[in-house]
Structure 1
């Protein structure tokens, strides 16, 4: 499933940069860009009636030339819009952040930010969406807590073992998540990503180590069994 994003940012250069970041994250596409509240409302209306399926996520600047992003969000909620929102802002006022949370902001990303910062949060948001939609109903408090932790617990860059990169890990994660029904071997992941089998296996083993995947043995017709990796919802 591809998640469609509306980028709302008053600075055209920053809007282009944010849109480029989004387009580089597997599983996401930019549906539209808007530079004001009025343009954002118009884009949402147009996307709601288009065949593409509407907007899943809004990257929302909190300072717009025709009003605040939070005021836009209030009007959207009052009109029945339920799109998820990342607040993208230079504002560090915790009262404003708290107000955003009360209006349904699921992430706050402080400017200036790197591709890696936004990519990590987008991928966790995709995991959260996939987990919620796949499982449907939680059977315990622990499962609720695990689902929410996927959305908010962003790992530090230092948690990656030496030799592993965040962009490649993001690609491996997406491939494994998309193969949730069947899983992947290291050979299959390597072929899909254009890397060698040993490299693919290192990333898959890392996902096992941090609890995001399970490892099983796959027995074929001949030869030794091969490790089989399955995304953990």
Structure 2
């Protein structure tokens, strides 16, 4: 069963209507992406960001009434945590460093390819965790390290094919499951295929972050069920 991608509601803040139209067309090639608004100035962008509550904001730097990086700083100071990616012709290092310091998760220099824009959207999806619950989500050090880009152990990168943000989503969903789940069930929770979810779950088992049980309640091959292990770290003995 193929996974349904997470829907993404996008706000464009771009003063050139031709560029805004091209970006909208590129984004909406993905049926799960919907551009909910387009602003041509900092003032319009600020108003629409608050009124529309988008999942993702694509922000230009040079705007007629101010600097987009100043708007980004304003949002963060006001507690707006929406994912923001900067898309601009500003290719100087100070602008890049300032954008990242103010919390932009990606930075595209114009002109860029449709594939790179699609990658930006995929990174946004990978950063989004499971649906919010009444209780504030909590993170352990390992999950936080992955989000910060810190290796799991000294100088040791994640295995090939394991994305840190996706791993964070999988572990968060497993922790929130409150019991044992199959790779298929977990994949449906986070929008991944069964095979991809299985690969991440097996990695968590090797890390000692999850346990694996075999369920023999049905005829045929036993089902593999995974459960989050609290107070982790370190590989399981004998794994």
Q: Classify the TM-score, shorter chain.
A: 0.5 to 0.7
Q: Quote the RMSD (CA, aligned, Å).
A: 4.7
Equivalent residues in 2 for 1:70-219, closer than 5 Å: 70-77=69-76, 80-84=78-82, 85-111=84-110, 112-113=112-113, 114-127=116-129, 135-136=137-138, 138=140, 140=141, 142-149=142-149, 159-160=160-161, 180-181=176-177, 184-185=181-182, 200-201=194-195, 203-208=196-201, 211=204, 214=210, 216-219=212-215
Aligned to 2:225: 228
Gaps of 5+ in 2: 1-5, 151-159, 231-239
Distance 1:221 1:208, change over 3 A: closer
SS in 2 for 1:124: helix
SS in 2 for 1:119: helix
Contact (CA 8 Å) 1:36, 1:65: kept in 2 or not? yes
Distance 1:77 1:208, change over 3 A: closer
The CA distance in 2 between the partners of 1:190 and 1:77, in whole Å, is 32
- Give the TM-score taking structure 2 as reference length: 0.58
Gaps of 5+ in 1: 48-53, 151-158, 193-198
Distance 1:135 1:45, change over 3 A: closer
Greater per-residue helix proportion: 1
Number of residue-to-residue matches in the alignment: 199
Q: Is the counterpart of residue 67 in structure 1 residue 63 in structure 2?
A: no
- Give the TM-score taking structure 1 as reference length: 0.59
